[in-house]
Amino acid sequence: QVQLVESGGGSVQAGGSLRLSCAASQYTYNTNCMGWFRQAPGKEREGVATIYTGGVSTYYADSVKGRFTISQDNAKNTVYLQMNSLKPEDTAMYYCAASTRYCGAWYRPRTYDYWGQGTQVTVSS
């Protein structure tokens, strides 16, 4: 079973930066993609970014494109989300997810098999 643990959340001022980390268990060899989602109170969970196995393809939500970067360190079995130029609307609980299935619908939570417990990101103005 794949286990995911997020870290790196916190509180920052608008315009600041944070880097989130998602450490995966040894059972990620068959994952097709790993992604980041976020959910604010009263809103549905939305896809932020995803990276396909091998790092050959990445995708981003329009709202974060140009500000966020997803990357992976295969040696550490870890996926990162570098968040720059943060805005108050980025405030949410951020979740890491992994999928062993086709990832064409990368932005849909149902695509993913495994989830971390989340890390809170708060951006103040």
Residues whose CB is less than 8 angstroms from the CB of residue 41 and which lie 6 or more positions away in sequence, other chains included:
none
Q: How far apart are CA 48 and CA 106, in angstroms?
A: 9
Residue 28 confidence (pLDDT): 64
Q: Is 110 helix (H, G, I), strand (E, B) or coil?
A: helix
> Phi and psi at residue 19, in whole multiples of 5°?
-125, 120
How would residue 98 be classed by pLDDT, with cut points 50, 70 and 90?
Answer: very high
Residue 64, C-beta contacts closer than 8 angstroms, at least 6 positions apart? 48, 49, 83, 90
Measured between alpha carbons, how far is residue 72 from residues 20, 42, 87, 91, 124 in Å? 11, 31, 24, 23, 28
User: What average pLDDT does the segment 111-117 reach?
Assistant: 95
